[in-house]
A = this chain, B = another copy of it.
Amino acid sequence: MAWEFAGGQPIYQQIIRSMEIQIVSGKYHPGEKIPAVRELAAQAGVNPNTMQRALTELEREGLLYSRRTSGRFVTENESTIREARRTLAEQFISEMFKNLENLGMKRGEIIEAIDHWKE
C-alpha cells in the first residue's frame, strides 16, 4: 500500500515545475529579469541553496540565463519556451493516463471518458 503524504516530489523539483509553468504561461515574459535567489527563496519559504539548485537546472534547460553582474533573466528564445510548454503538457497528459490506468481503466475506456468529458 502506497501512502505518501506530504509531498512525494523533492522540493527543488516542485520549484522547477512551478517556474516552468510561470514562464511558459507568460507570467514571466521573455527577457524579463527575475528576482535575486535570496529573494525568490524567501518568497517560497525555502533554503537559498534549494532555490539555487532549481535555477541552475532551469538554466541548463535554457529557460533562464544569467549575466555575471546584472542578474538572471528569462530566455528570449521563444522556441525554447514553446518546447518547454510541449514537454510540460506531455507530462500532465502522461500523468493523467497513468492515474486512470491505476484506476483499472483500459485505454479504450480512458479515451471514451476524455471524449465524454470534452462535451
Contacts and interface: CB of A to CB of B under 8 A. Distances in A.
A80 interface: no
User: How many subunits of this chain does the assembly comprise?
Assistant: 4
A45 B46 CA distance: 25
Given A2-B18, A5-B44, A44-B3, A89 B94 contact: no
A114 to B, nearest CB: 6
A95 B93 contact: no
A114 B90 CA distance: 8
Interface of A: 1-3, 5-8, 11, 14-15, 18, 21-22, 24-27, 43-46, 85-86, 88-90, 92-97, 99-100, 102-105, 107, 110-111, 113-114, 117-118
A-B residue pairs, 5 tightest by C-beta: A96-B96, A3-B44, A25-B104, A92-B99, A93-B117
24 contacts: A1-B22, A3-B18, A3-B44, A5-B14, A5-B45, A5-B46, A6-B7, A21-B102, A21-B103, A24-B103, A24-B104, A25-B104, A85-B103, A85-B104, A85-B105, A86-B113, A89-B100, A89-B103, A90-B113, A92-B100, A93-B114, A94-B117, A95-B96, A114-B114
